[in-house]
Structure 1
Amino acid sequence: MIRMMILLIVLGTTLGAMAYGRAKTRSKSLEDWALGGRKMGTLVFWFLNAGEIYTTFAVLGISGFAWAYGAPAYLAFTSVSLSAAVGYWLTPRIHAYGRRHGLITQADFFAHRYQSRWLGMVVACAGLIALTVYIQIQVTALTFIVRLVAGPVIGGTWAAVIAVAVMLAFVFLAGLRSAAFAAGVKDVLMLIVVAVLAFGVAGMVGASSMLDVFARVQDLYPAATRFPGLQPHAGLSLVWLSTSAINVAIGTYIFPHMFQLCFSAGSSETIKRNTVLQPIYSLSYFFIILLGFAALLAGTRPEGGDLNALLLTFVVQHCPVWLIGLFAGTASLLALVPGSVLMLTCGSIFARNIVRPVWRDMDDRRELLVSRCSMVGFAAAALWLALGASASLVEVGLSAYAAIGMLVPGVYLAFITRRVSGLAVMAGLIAGYAVLWVPMIGKALGAIFVEWEIGLVAVLCNLVVTLVAMLLLPAADRGAK
């Protein structure tokens, strides 16, 4: 029954998404495939935007983080609300600039705003690296589900291959519109599942209510309810929480796929309404953290101590068969929808900002074909990363935010001042990536900024270098309006 429910949910949503997407997609251009014709309305855009927040990182990752570390999982509450506040100012500006100049990708934005094709290619490469790491999160989570469905018949490698293949099927033909359909199905199902689990979890662990679950955790594991949590040596203090939340907030809408989502909106009002309502989603983290704490009380131990599999293990051990199937099928969509959008974005960037500048006479039809085919390569790269991964989904997610955060100064300054140049942005990028990737520099700054999220330290170094370069470079090197 479990396998049947999972297959029914996944296959039903996949077929429905492909049919919906194909019916709505008339043009054979990259713009229509990757942006849905720039006509996404309030409801569709809500599901797409929320779909990029309510992912396996949120559900499987945060619940496992709460089980393993305790209070540091509260990062989820702060980061989503702060992201929405930042997004209210930033995303309408991204949308307006993209519509005014007919942009499709984030790299298009940098190339046009700073009048620098080479900077666009550099940003494209940076975005592809961060997106591939982010796809790894979704592949890892979906692999758990595939193994649950298939049992011991399929090993981890083949389970991951199947997971990647299903992700590709979601958007290969119909593009963003198919992901929008699936995002709506996923969000509705997930809210139902989380509510059912949350209201029944007290009985599963012998508590009298949801609040009693927290009270029992406080009595039995007092370190879990305060910072630095269950593992003090991990350095997850209030300083870490504050700096990580800020880094996530300023970086959420800097991801290349979030740029494309902004470009896809029908109007700036659609975006503003979504950012006003988006913090509602952060309320669901109360229930997700509750489930992680309940697993702690129940003594749940996932196979191999893998905290990414914690919630799935807890559900399998304590829930009826029908609920296990519903949860696993819905969790599959949590990985499939964001993963497919990420792959679509990778394909768009590769075709438009890596291949097209070299292949000057490439027409729209060939550009779309290159974009679709290149997704296979990025899927393979994410598969390779997932097979060798051992870190938690939250840790992998924060590393992706750190990598993409290097584009923060270039985006924000683009809407604040006309003085910043492409060369100044490039100087900042070099400085920021040096902090992240040169161990000696990272360790030296880590000794100064104790327990800070290293991604935020890198962003600050990037910003300082960018501002200094802006003041030193000739005034003639300006960007486009």
Structure 2
Amino acid sequence: MILALTFSVVLGTMIGALLYGRRQARAQTMAEWAVGGRSFGMLIFWFLNAGEIYTTFAVLGISGYAWAHGAPAYLAFTSVSLSATVGYWLMPRIWEAGKKYDLVTQADFFAAHYRATWLGCVVGIAGIAALIVYVQIQITALSLIIQLSLGSDVSQLTAAVLAAAIMLAFVYFAGLRSAAFAAGVKDVLMVIIVIALSVTVASKVGAASILDVFALAEEKHPGFGQFPGMQPEAGLSSTWLMTAALNVALGNWILPHMFQLCFAAGSRKTIRRNAIWQPLYSLSYFFIILLGLGALLAGTQPEGGDSNAVLLQFVSDRYPAWAIGLFAGTACLLALVPGSVLLLTASSIFTRNVVRPFYSGISERRMLLVARLSMVAFAGIAVWLTLGATKSLVEIGLSAYAAIGMLAPGVYLGFTWKRAHALGVFIGIVAGYCALLLPAAQLVWNTYFPQWDHGLLAMAFNGAVTVLACVLIPATAFRGVSSSTSS
């Protein structure tokens, strides 16, 4: 029954997504395939954008983080609300630039705004690298679900390859419109399931009520609700929470797929309404954290102590087969929808900003073929990264945010400072990655800024170097279109 229900949910959604995408408009151009013809209304845009609340990072990752650490899982509340605040200001500007200059990818923005095709190529490669890491999150989670559904005899490699293949099928032909349909199905099902599980979790762990779950968790695991949580050696203090939340908020809309989704909106009003209501939607994290605490009280122990599999194991141990199958099928969609959008974005960037500059006469049809083939290649790389990975989904996600944060100064300065130019932005990016990755830089941060999020520190260093470079180096040759896109 578990396998049948899981398969039914996934296959039914896939068929509906493909039919919807093909019926709305056959993807014959990059703009239609990658940004849905720039016509998404409030409802579709909501499920694609604010629907990022319900991903494997959120549901499986945050519940597992609550199980392993306790209070540090509250990062989810703060980061989403801050991201919406930033998005209210930033997203309409991204949308306006995309509409005015016919942009499809984030790298298009850098190339057009700074009038430097080479910068678009550099940014594109950096964005692809971060996206592949983020795809790894989805494949890791989907592999766990496949193994739950098919049995532990299925190897990690087989599960990861199956996960990538299903993910590719979602958007290979119809593009972003297919993902939009699946995102709606995924969110509706997940809201229903999370509420149903939350209503029944108290009875599964011997608590009198939902609030009693928190009281019991504090009683049995003293300090779980305070920072630094149940693992003080991890350094997840309140300082970490504030700096990590700020880094996520500043970097969220810089993630290439989120940047590209802004281009898909039909109007500025659509984007701003989304940002206004998104913090309310994030209150659902209360129930996700509740389920993680339920697993903690139930003594759930996933194989190998894998925190990513905690919620899956808890549901598998405590609920009937039909509930397990429905949850597993919906959890598959949590990985498939964002994962497919990530792969689509990476392939769009590769085609438009890495391949096209070297083959200026390439046709739309050939570009679509290259995009689809590169999407397969990127999925293969993500599968390779997944094998043997041991980090939690939250840790992998924060690594992706730190990496993509190196592009943030170029975006924010592009909309606020006319003196910013391509060479200064490039120098800042190089400096930022050095500050993020070099062991010597890590030693400095740990010594002088203990427990600060390193991604935020590297982003700040990047921004300072970018500003200094733009002040010291003449901007005449690098003047872009800032006066047109910063209104």
TM-score (normalizing by structure 2): 0.98
Q: Does 1:473 align with 2:473?
A: yes
Contact 2:53-2:282 within 8 A present in 1 as well? no
Deviations 1:42-75 (A, max 9, x none): 0000001023332000000000000000000000
Deviations 1:228-258 (A, max 9, x none): 0000000000000000000000010001111
* Structure 1 stretches of at least 4 aligned residues deviating more than 3 Å after TM superposition: none
Counterpart Cα distance in 1 of 2:153 and 2:393: 26
Q: Which residue of 1 aligns with 2:226?
A: 226
Q: Which residue of 2 aligns with 1:114?
A: 114
Q: Which residue of 1 aligns with 2:212?
A: 212
Counterpart Cα distance in 1 of 2:465 and 2:194: 45
Name the aligned partner's letter for residue 379 of structure 2.
A
Structure 2 SS opposite 1:242: helix
Structure 2 SS opposite 1:115: coil
| Aligned pairs (5 A) from 1:288-307 | 288-307=288-307
CA-CA distance at 1:26 after TM superposition: 3.1
Contact 1:17-1:182 within 8 A present in 2 as well? yes
| Aligned pairs (5 A) from 1:300-319 | 300-319=300-319
CA-CA distance at 1:352 after TM superposition: 0.5
Contact 1:244-1:453 within 8 A present in 2 as well? yes
Q: Which residue of 1 aligns with 2:452?
A: 452
Contact 2:419-2:475 within 8 A present in 1 as well? yes
Name the aligned partner's letter for residue 86 of structure 2.
V
Counterpart Cα distance in 1 of 2:31 and 2:199: 44
Deviations 1:5-47 (A, max 9, x none): 0000000001110111111123511110111110000000000
Q: Which residue of 1 aligns with 2:366?
A: 366
Q: Does 1:344 align with 2:310?
A: no
Counterpart Cα distance in 2 of 1:470 and 1:315: 54
CA-CA distance at 1:153 after TM superposition: 4.0
Q: Which residue of 2 aligns with 1:392?
A: 392
Q: Which residue of 1 aligns with 2:464?
A: 464
CA-CA distance at 1:183 after TM superposition: 0.2
Contact 1:51-1:337 within 8 A present in 2 as well? no
Counterpart Cα distance in 2 of 1:27 and 1:11: 21
Counterpart Cα distance in 1 of 2:320 and 2:106: 45
In structure 2, the gaps of 5 or more residues are none
Q: Which residue of 2 aligns with 1:237?
A: 237
Q: Which residue of 2 aligns with 1:174?
A: 174
CA-CA distance at 1:185 after TM superposition: 0.2
Name the aligned partner's letter for residue 305 of structure 2.
G
| Aligned pairs (5 A) from 1:117-156 | 117-156=117-156
Counterpart Cα distance in 2 of 1:155 and 1:394: 24
Q: Which residue of 1 aligns with 2:267?
A: 267
In structure 1, the gaps of 5 or more residues are none
Structure 2 SS opposite 1:222: coil
Name the aligned partner's letter for residue 273 of structure 2.
R
Q: Does 1:281 align with 2:281?
A: yes
Structure 1 SS opposite 2:223: helix
Counterpart Cα distance in 2 of 1:277 and 1:146: 34
Q: Does 1:159 align with 2:159?
A: yes
Q: Does 1:415 align with 2:422?
A: no
Name the aligned partner's letter for residue 220 of structure 2.
L
Counterpart Cα distance in 1 of 2:111 and 2:421: 11
Q: Does 1:435 align with 2:444?
A: no
Q: Does 1:323 align with 2:323?
A: yes
Identity %, equivalent residues: 61
48-57 or 278-287: which moved more? 48-57
Counterpart Cα distance in 2 of 1:393 and 1:271: 28
Deviations 1:210-243 (A, max 9, x none): 0000011111112111000000000000000000
Contact 1:25-1:33 within 8 A present in 2 as well? no
Name the aligned partner's letter for residue 3 of structure 1.
L
Counterpart Cα distance in 1 of 2:26 and 2:338: 23
Counterpart Cα distance in 2 of 1:381 and 1:154: 20
Contact 1:316-1:324 within 8 A present in 2 as well? yes
Counterpart Cα distance in 1 of 2:214 and 2:423: 52
Counterpart Cα distance in 2 of 1:97 and 1:215: 50
23-32 or 127-136: which moved more? 23-32
Q: Which residue of 1 aligns with 2:8?
A: 8
Give the number of equivalent residue pairs: 481
Counterpart Cα distance in 2 of 1:390 and 1:27: 38
CA-CA distance at 1:454 after TM superposition: 0.5
Structure 1 SS opposite 2:416: coil
Contact 1:51-1:338 within 8 A present in 2 as well? no
Counterpart Cα distance in 2 of 1:190 and 1:104: 30
Counterpart Cα distance in 2 of 1:249 and 1:153: 40
Q: Which residue of 2 aligns with 1:403?
A: 403
Contact 2:26-2:174 within 8 A present in 1 as well? no
Counterpart Cα distance in 2 of 1:314 and 1:149: 14
Q: Which residue of 2 aligns with 1:46?
A: 46
